Chains A and B, each alone.
Chain A
Amino acid sequence: MLNCAEELILLAIDDESGAFHRMIDVNFNLSLVGALIMDLALRNRIDSDLEHIYVISKEPTNDPILDQVLEMIGAPEAAGSSAVLLRQLYQSLENLRDRLLKRLELKGIIRFTENRVLWLFKQRRYPVIDQKEEKEVLTRIRETVLTDVIPEPRDLALISLINSCDLMDKIFSSSELREHDTRIQLLSKMDLIGHSTNKIIEDVQKMIASAFGV
């Protein structure tokens, strides 16, 4: 089974072109950080409330990226505040997207291709070669949103992040989004880490809007 961050990156790839869907980069990268924190929470290494994220076990997960994040959250200089910590991690985790893509390649789920546009610009693509994992995630997410089933914590986390980086319209039709908007908004705030991630993304969007006088 993939972790939340791997599932999120897989959902962000357009199956037809192998390119990433059009998204705001900051939102997506912050969501990936949120996904890693959720993965640690689901493995009982950290806990959180509305204000803080804290380590409850430093036992390694044997996942190099998660263990790096766990070490950073447990470091003395790490912020206790969820919002500040998420920003710190976002700034410190270099090449996170590439590292996650590499893992999906090693698992045989995607492959890397590179071609040139106008002989000058490199264009990387990540076609999905094994759709089993992606279909499984899509089925879970669609069932959670479109029915009244009580959600699994893991799916709540993912729904919250999918909403944060504006990928909902890649999973649901316009009519489904209209009909189930209330439930999507409700589910999106039910995970407290997702809640913090959403809040930071909203703050960033407000900052950008005010910078451009919108």
Chain B
Amino acid sequence: MKYELLSEAGAQILGLKGRLDAISGPELEEQLDLQAVQTKLIIDFTDLAYISSAGLRVILKIAKTLQTQGKSLVLCGMQGFIREIFDISGFSGILNIVASCDDALS
């Protein structure tokens, strides 16, 4: 999996590409410095092709850490299979998911 981190309008945007699973998830977790997030982290799923249960756990851990730090997490750009996984697993019920990065920034 590849990812890029951008800063825009006071928020950090993390763009994920490829697969988020038990191999790439722990790497992302290790490399991502959530202390560096100012107030809001946006994760863009537009180019993510696959997410497994280990990937979902990583997203949950990020959300929990940010909640503890008083920061927010917004997920955007989900389509097809990825959106289906979030809906079926109920993650959509506790995480803030919006359609696009523009929506997440506003």
User: What CA separation (Å) do A191 and B94 show in the bound complex?
Assistant: 13
What is the number of contacts between chain A and chain B, taking CB atoms within 8 Å? 62
Contact with A along B36-77 (1 / 0, CB 8 A): 000000000000001111101100110110010000000000
Chain A count of residues within 8 A CB distance of the other chain: 22
The answer to whether B18 has its CB under 8 Å from any CB of chain A is no
Query: In this assembly, does B93 line the interface, its C-beta being within 8 Å of a C-beta of chain A?
Result: yes
Interface residues of A (CB under 8 A from B): 41, 44, 46-50, 56, 149-153, 156, 186-187, 189-193, 195
15 additional contacts (CB under 8 A) given A46-B22, A150-B64: A44-B22, A49-B52, A56-B23, A149-B64, A150-B67, A151-B64, A152-B60, A152-B64, A153-B57, A186-B93, A190-B60, A190-B89, A191-B53, A192-B52, A195-B88
Q: List 25 A-B contacts (CB under 8 A).
A: A41-B53, A44-B22, A44-B54, A47-B22, A47-B52, A48-B52, A48-B53, A49-B85, A50-B85, A50-B88, A56-B22, A56-B23, A150-B60, A151-B60, A152-B60, A152-B64, A189-B89, A190-B89, A190-B90, A190-B91, A190-B94, A191-B53, A192-B53, A192-B56, A193-B53
